[in-house]
Amino acid sequence: MSTLIPISNRRPRQIPRVFDFQTSIETIRAHHWRVFSDAYSGCAFTCSYCLYKGPGDYGRHVKVSPGSAEADPSMGILDIGTTTDPYQPIEATELRTRGILEAALAQQIPVFLLTRGTMVTRDLDVLTELAKRGLIEVCFSVITLREDLARTLEVRAPAPADRLKAAEQVAAAGIPVSFHVAPVIPGLQSPAEMDRLGYELASLSGRHVFNAVLGAQKAWWNTFYGVMEGAADAIDSLELFRAAYPRELDFERDAAVNCGLSDALSTLLPFRDGVTRGGATFVAENFPHLTTGPLEGGIYRWKLPTVYDMARWVSAQTGPVDWGAFSAWYAGHTPGDRLTGLVRGLWDQGELFVGTAVGPAAEPGTYIGGAEIVETARTTLVARRGARK
Ligand code: SF4
């Protein structure tokens, strides 16, 4: 393996500012990460559906994120790539993402790295060292195999075929690879295309294919709608898209609007079939009951439980579960007082298991598996860069 940049002997300890990840029901629903760190602010890939895309010249002035934090193994799984892609063009000279990886290696911090960037192959040396210790999963974001759709929606991001080539290189180096299909846009691709997408990604990964449905943001909604309407001849069904996401939406502060389960199923189910046939686990971030298996082993030894994991645990118990029994299990994951308080509040309000097959039992404050699935709330909380507590 050629190493273009030697792994730093200085063993860096500082990484860009770190933020708590699980801060709401939306993030607890699907994300196992404890904290996230973004190397840059802004993203030169400027995808038209980006949750973090601001108005105006977003993406034209990508900057190095200010501030830094001491890398600390107690921070748990670190997610890189939440609000900006870690392999921006300026990463070639700034080496900010590489610095995070080197700090993680030095401090033995497990990392989930999400990218559309092909520059990730530059860092195979440090990623391989992390992989030898079970400390990394590299997740490639790919929403379509079709170059024409990618060129319409992800104008400045590397082509899907190039991302798949990079994923093959990373996997060939013995580094765990997964995929993230976000956003899933009902109507964009046919059921057969979704099946093939799921199959191809699962075959390449053999591990996990994560997915999240489109979160509509007020700031770009009209522009995005115009892009979809302009691509009517290329996409599978503009009608399906319009039914799932009407042009007029009620936007909430800090949240993006998702479609409902019934509007997503005709897209998600063939996709899930393809993933299952390809031999990977389908992880549905909005609709936990569609998930086909647990996240275990590798970096997931340090994960926080998601709502899927919590519901799975409740379902495995005989009879109803009260907060005392649940919190004894939950505390084993060392979530911290603040997060436990949040989960307790959601437990008391009956919101924790919405979207799963766990529901309230006869005794107040108790839950039991096998109940009817309640549709999830139709929002995605946009990760906030609040100070870490
Ligand atoms: S690569 Fe990710 S962060 Fe960057 S513009 Fe696209 S969706 Fe947004």
| pLDDT tens digits, one per residue of 17-41 | 788 888 888 888 878 998 999 899 8
The residue among 370 and 143 whose pLDDT is bigger is: 143
CB 353 within 8 A of CB 311: yes
CB 169 within 8 A of CB 247: no
> Among candidates 277, 310, 247, which has minimal Cα distance to 28?
310
- The alpha carbon of 87 and the centre of ligand 1 are apart by a number of angstroms equal to 11
- The alpha carbon of 166 and the centre of ligand 1 are apart by a number of angstroms equal to 18
Beta bridge partners of 70: 14
User: Cα-flanking dihedrals φ and ψ of residue 276, to 5°?
Assistant: -65, -45
Cα distance between the two ends of the chain: 41
Return the best residue to mutate from 36, 38, 40, 45 for the ligand 1 pocket (most ligand atoms within 8 A of CB). Answer: 45
Q: Which residues contact 162 (CB under 8 A, 6 or more apart)?
A: 118
CA gap 215, 286 in Å, rounded: 10
CB 179 within 8 A of CB 199: no
Per-residue confidence at 383, pLDDT binned at 50, 70, 90? Answer: very low
Query: Can you tell me the mean pLDDT for 40-58?
Result: 81
- The alpha carbon of 43 and the centre of ligand 1 are apart by a number of angstroms equal to 6
What letter does residue 46 receive in the DSSP assignment? Answer: -
Percent of the chain with pLDDT over 70: 90
140 residue type, one letter = F
What letter does residue 216 receive in the DSSP assignment? Answer: B
Query: Can you tell me the mean pLDDT for 210-220?
Result: 91
| pLDDT tens digits, one per residue of 319-337 | 999 999 999 999 999 898 9
| pLDDT tens digits, one per residue of 260-309 | 888 999 999 999 999 999 999 999 988 888 999 999 889 999 999 999 99
Reply yes or no on whether the pLDDT at 380 is more than 60: no
Reply yes or no on whether the pLDDT at 10 is more than 60: no
- The alpha carbon of 85 and the centre of ligand 1 are apart by a number of angstroms equal to 6
- The alpha carbon of 45 and the centre of ligand 1 are apart by a number of angstroms equal to 6
CA gap 162, 182 in Å, rounded: 18
- Extract the tokens encoding 89: 């063009």
Highest mean pLDDT among 14-18, 26-30, 100-104: 100-104
| pLDDT tens digits, one per residue of 83-97 | 899 999 999 999 999
CA gap 142, 179 in Å, rounded: 7
Beta bridge partners of 282: 209
Ligand 1, atom 3, lies closest to the CA of: 84
Q: Which residues contact 387 (CB under 8 A, 6 or more apart)?
A: 19
Residue 188: the pLDDT is 98
B/e letters for 325-342, b = 16+ CB within 10 Å, e = fewer, are: ebeeebeebebbeebeeb
Average pLDDT value over all residues in the chain: 89
DSSP helix/strand/coil, 14: strand
Return the best residue to mutate from 52, 79, 91 for the ligand 1 pocket (most ligand atoms within 8 A of CB). Answer: 52
Reply yes or no on whether the pLDDT at 384 is more than 60: no
Lowest mean pLDDT among 55-59, 134-138, 166-170: 55-59
The residue among 76 and 140 whose pLDDT is bigger is: 140
Residues with CB under 6 A from ligand 1: 43, 45-47, 50, 52-53, 84-85, 116, 157
Reply yes or no on whether the pLDDT at 129 is more than 50: yes
| pLDDT tens digits, one per residue of 343-371 | 999 999 988 998 888 999 999 999 999 87
Return the best residue to mutate from 85, 144, 154, 210 for the ligand 1 pocket (most ligand atoms within 8 A of CB). Answer: 85
Atom of ligand 1 nearest to the CA of 53: 8
CB 355 within 8 A of CB 339: no
Atom of ligand 1 nearest to the CA of 45: 5
- The alpha carbon of 32 and the centre of ligand 1 are apart by a number of angstroms equal to 20
- The alpha carbon of 117 and the centre of ligand 1 are apart by a number of angstroms equal to 10
Q: 89: how many CB neighbours lie within 10 A of its CB?
A: 14
Ligand 1, atom 7, lies closest to the CA of: 50
Ligand 1, atom 8, lies closest to the CA of: 50
DSSP helix/strand/coil, 287: coil
Atom of ligand 1 nearest to the CA of 51: 8
Atom of ligand 1 nearest to the CA of 157: 1
CB 289 within 8 A of CB 355: yes
* Rg of the chain (C-alpha set): 20
